Structure 1
Amino acid sequence: MSPEPFTHEHADMHPPAQLSPDTSVPPAASKPATGRYARIFEIAGSAFFSVGFLARLPLAMLTIGALTLVTSITGSYAQGGFAAGAVGLGSALGAPLLGYLADRIGQRPLLLGTAVANPLMILAVLWTASQLPGGGPLAAVLAAAFAMGASSAQVGPLARVRWMSLTARDRTGQELGTALSYESMADELSFVLGPALVGLLAATVAPWLPLALAAALSATMVTAFALHRTVGAVQPSPRRRRPANGKARASKDRAEGVSWALLALPVLGMVAMGTFFGATQASLTAFGGSFGIADAAGLLYSVMGISSAAAALSVAFWPEKFSQSARWVMSAFAMTGAALLLLLPGGVPEMLVVLFILGIPVGPTMVSIFGIGAQLAPRHLMGTVMTLLASGTVTGTAIGSALAGPLAEEYGHGAAFWVSAGAAAALLVLGLASSAAVRRAKKDPA
């Protein structure tokens, strides 16, 4: 069944339905708005939510876990930063590959493979790091950290692919919109809870314990996610042969509603979003340091994550006539204005208020970008595209940290917060470009 390439009344086109929809689930167009979240619990089953959330926690723990472990062993923030960077680089490069493999061989075997490989790589990090006091090479730790990041299960993106299939019969798009809102909320909470859990365990027990817990969660909960019944809704797509005639391939892509130029916009949007995250984290560390509480930067940052998660849930109840592109533009505009408020606080209480306000447009922006990515993704590469969006966030986070960190050290946190504001402005520009491109493509699908 081919998607409707830019011929829908709104920009909120329903994503392609090639993913073997769950025919046991009746359409719910008549369901009241207040029952939308109850509806997705009916579709996937309550176990899907607890398993999916716990399965994505290891990914949120690995970067800061490596940073904490190596820093505690060596006493060097630089070496700890190198280890964290290796994890991020591995995740950014490995995520699209894992998504592609999930599209080709299916989610279940791919996830079962990561449930074995990732805990082994985590153990490799723990072992190589333990050799550092005796003269062990840092290069071995970095290689293990890279492999640890590259092999981490991309639960959030793959869960979104399942939702695209499970909700394919709902032509209103309400069920998918609700599911994507939930997934963004779950991502936000995991990246708030994960680092907090690492800090708590490392401070109260031992620096190695957070990574050990991540290994246990990866082995058990990723396996449970791989075996959950919803995995059967997504069928792998065998690799297609490249047509001898390039024009034939281009024609086929157009017939399937594929626009690679358009698809680059949400991917770049997630890079800008990641840049915003990385810059804000680095800037808040410098801001906290000016009050002697640099270690509390994660707690400050979590305030934005909480309001962002709550706002993401609200997107399911936004008017249907409010297109995904318009939501992106509006939310990014609000983000840009709120990011400028970061320059104003002179104390921690004021900063907490600003961060709470700033988080409100962040969640809806993420939901909108993932929604547009789902609409534009080629039917046979859904997993690849979803993991590309996720890896864009990781890549952007590294960029934001690299830009804001030196500025904060040289000129103070005020200068570093300009990177956050610039990233939000870039999101607005990309949103406007996406909106214009979608309108143009609707008028001329060819």
Structure 2
Amino acid sequence: MNTSTLSSAAVTDAPTLPPAGSSSGGRFARLPQLAGRSFLPIGLFARLPLAMLTIGALTLVTAVTGSYAIGGAAAGAVGIGSAIGSPVLGYLADRLGQRGVLLVAAVFNTIAIVGLILAAYGIPGGPDLSAAVPVLAAAFIAGASSPQVGPLARVRWMALTSRGGATNSGAANNDLDTALSYESTADELTFVLGPALVGILASLVTPWLPLALAAALTLTLVPAFAVHPTHAVVPPAPARSKPGSERAAADAGGPVRSRIASTAAVALPVLAMVCMGSFFGGTQAALSSFSAGVATSEVAGLLYSVMGLSSAAAALSVAYWSRRFTVQARWVACAALMIGLASLLLLPTTALSMIVVLLFLGLPVGPLMVTVFAIGGAVAPAAKLGTVMTALASGIVAGQALGSSVAGRLAEDHGSTAAFLVSVCAAAGLFLLGAAAAAVIRRRNPA
């Protein structure tokens, strides 16, 4: 993708870019040099409302109605809305540009969250699900309109790191690995911090406050991300497609077999993220059952955060992995390790032994997410990069709903050990998809 260099007037908070591959201050020090110092904190905290929305809806609606069923349905409506809406927002960002789409989404999502709060207090208490239709509709709209900061930030990094051209492709790849490692860590941290913040505010102050804070953050930080000068490196698709571009030429036509291979190359990472989401959802549901047996069900969140922290730390390490360890090999190796470590979830009988397993289980998870996002960006058509990135994110959301529902049923009928089999099967699916992706990529790019 051949993108123009930002003008000095556009990127006011960024110094003059050093040559690609400059290592002054370390690889992660390159990121503010590429995007500007303000981009990292804005991009980090602008995604926090999305991490608060699902658990915030669950907490508020359950507290108001006294019904776990209605609260769970509201959380599910948020997830379904996000899974459906995020690729649509990605497609619109590709066609119309990120700035305008994010600005509209920020305003619309803020209104939807406020509507969700009002609808929650407007329904009668009790387990009558039919009376909760307004709150479920508001929850769905809030999920569907959630600004997709994380995926669209990855699109900007892909454009920023490609500006050095083919002569610096190795250094550009190093920069991209570093940026994607940071992005996966940022996702992990916000999805640990978000639920914790909801729990603290809801228990110490009032159940509506977390969603009100999410609305306030959306209205302030998402527009700041939208108008950040880095949006200029990802112009709308018609302006981005250039006649001499290799990818544009590939997109313009070709044999049917080539198009099928291209579709498969994009579909495999998306399916992998569905498996990854199933792994997350299944593990969460199984841990709830496990923790209820060894302590209390509330401990499940703390246990799960152990895996999130080790996953975030491991994701950062990808920036330093050898380039000879290809992304295809990374995918297969990390998935194989996940299968073995996920199988250990069947063994613990105490909280301490489970913590040890989860600590090690997180180690291949972060790098695998970095790898799948990298492959998704590499195989995506230039004009549909935002669509593919948001589809990857929505795959995680859809997979979480699937994994948690299947594991929850298994836990109720057969106990936590059976529920952990969902995690093992999801890891096995990631391994098979990784092997298939390696074969497809080899066919598209023969040596």
Which residue number in structure 2 is paired with residue 426 of structure 1? 429
Tell me by how many angstroms 1:74 deviates. 1.4
Output aligned runs, 1:91-240, within 5 Å.
91-133=82-124, 137-168=131-162, 169=164, 170-172=168-170, 173-238=173-238
1:18 Cα offset (Å): 3.7
Q: CA deviation at 1:237?
A: 1.3
**Offset of 1:261 from its aligned partner?**
1.3
What is the DSSP-based 3-state SS (H/G/I as helix, E as strand, rest coil) of the residue aligned with 2:348?
coil
More deviation, 131-140/143-152: 131-140
Correspondence 1:358 to 2:352:
no
SS of 2:60's partner is helix
Task: Give the conservation status (yes or no) of the 8 Å contact 2:261–2:440.
Answer: no
Shift of 1:230: 1.0
Q: Does 1:25 align with 2:17?
A: yes
Matching residue's letter, 1:158: L
Partner of 2:10: none
Structure 2: distance between partners of 1:428 and 1:125: 39
Contact 2:274 2:395 in 1 (8 A): yes
Separation in 1, partners of 2:183, 2:72: 29
Greater shift in the superposed pair: 374-383 or 17-26 = 17-26
**Cα gap change, 1:256 to 1:414, in 2 (>3 Å):** closer
Distance 1:257 1:423, change over 3 A: closer
Q: Aligned residue for 1:318?
A: 321
In structure 1, how many angstroms separate the alpha carbons of the residues matched to 2:443 and 2:6? Answer: 33
Instruction: Kindly provide the amino acid, as one letter, of the partner of residue 23 in structure 2.
Output: K
TM-score, normalised relative to structure 2: 0.90
Counterpart of 2:287 in structure 1 is: 284
Instruction: Measure the CA separation in 2 of the matches of 1:255 and 1:420.
Output: 34
Deviation of 1:398 after TM superposition, in Å, equals 0.5
Q: Aligned-pair distance for 1:281?
A: 0.6
- How far off its partner does 1:252 sit? 8.9
Verify the 8 A CA contact 2:18 2:33 in the aligned structure 1: no
Counterpart for residue 65 of structure 1: 56
Distance 2:305 2:256 in 1: 42
Q: Give the alignment's Cα RMSD to 1 decimal.
A: 2.3
Q: Which of the numbers 295, 300, 306 marks the counterpart of 1:297? A: 300
Displacement of 1:403 in angstroms is: 0.6
| Separation in structure 2 between the aligned mates of residue 59 and residue 253 of structure 1, nearest angstrom | 39
Q: Distance in 1 between matches of 2:226 and 2:196?
A: 26
Code of the residue aligned with 1:146 in structure 2: it is: F
CA distance in structure 2 between the aligned counterparts of 1:300 and 1:253, rounded to whole angstroms: 48
1:26 Cα deviation from its structure 2 partner = 4.2
Pick closer, same or farther for the CA change 1:107–1:253 going to 2, 3 Å: farther
**Per the alignment, do residues 20 and 296 of structure 1 end up closer, same or farther by CA in structure 2, a change over 3 Å counting?**
farther
- 8 Å contact from structure 1 (residues 91, 150) kept in 2: yes
Alpha-carbon shift at residue 257 of structure 1 (Å): 12
Structure 2 residue 47 is the aligned partner of structure 1 residue 56: yes
Q: Deviations over 1:164-193 (max 9, x none)?
A: 111111411111110011000101111111
Check if 1:328 corresponds to 2:322. no
The amino acid that maps onto 1:137 is A
Distance 1:201 1:107, change over 3 A: same
Say if 1:128 and 1:141, in contact at 8 Å, map to a contact too.
yes
CA distance in 2, matches of 1:286, 1:68: 19
Structure 1, unmatched stretches of 5+, are: 1-16, 241-246
**Cα distance per residue 1:391-425 (max 9 Å; x no partner):** 00001000101110010011111100000010011
Structure 2 residue matching 1:148: 3-state secondary structure: helix
State which of 415, 420, 440 in structure 2 corresponds to 1:417: 420
- Tell me the residue number matched to 1:8: none
Query: How far apart are residue 435 of structure 1 and its match?
Result: 1.0
Kindly tell me the number of residue pairs found equivalent between the two proteins: 422
Residue pair 1:258, 1:376 contacting (<8 A) in 2 also: no
Question: Given that residues 264 and 440 in structure 2 are in contact (C-alpha distance below 8 angstroms), is that contact kept between their aligned partners in structure 1?
Answer: no
| Paired residue secondary structure (1:36) | coil
Q: CA deviation at 1:379?
A: 0.4
Q: Is the aligned partner of 1:400 residue 2:403?
A: yes
- Work out whether residues 104 and 239 of structure 1, in 8 Å CA contact, stay in contact via their aligned partners in 2: no
Supply the distance in 2 between the matched residues of 1:239 and 1:44 (Cα, whole angstroms): 21
Identity of aligned residues (%): 57
- Give 2:436's aligned amino acid: A
- CA drift of 1:77 comes to 1.1
Task: After TM superposition, give the deviation of residue 254 of structure 1 in Å.
Answer: 9.3
TM-superposition CA deviations, 1:50-93 (whole Å, max 9, x none):
11111000111111111111111111111111100100000000
The correspondence for 1:368, drawn from 358, 368, 371, is 371
Partner of 1:87: 78
CA distance in 1, matches of 2:161, 2:442: 25
Q: 1:67 to 1:38 in 2, by over 3 A?
A: same
Structure 2 distance, partners of 1:423, 1:442, is 28
Deviations 1:315-350 (A, max 9, x none): 000001111110011111111111011111111111
Cα contact 2:116–2:135 (8 A) shared by 1: yes
Give the Cα–Cα distance (whole angstroms) in 1 for the partners of residues 316 and 330 of structure 2: 14
Maintained 8 Å contact 2:181/2:319: yes
CA shift, 1:249, in A, is 4.8
Distance in 1, matches of 2:251 and 2:186, equals 41
Compute the displacement of 1:256 (Å).
10
Alignment-mate amino acid for residue 122 of structure 2 = Q
In structure 2, what is the Cα distance between the partners aligned to 1:229 and 1:194? 27
CA 1:162/1:338 → structure 2, altered by over 3 Å: closer, same or farther?
same
- Give the secondary structure class of the aligned counterpart of 2:237: coil
| Contact 2:261/2:444, CA 8 A, preserved across alignment | no
Other structure's SS at 2:47 match: helix
Structure 2 residue 260 is the aligned partner of structure 1 residue 269: no
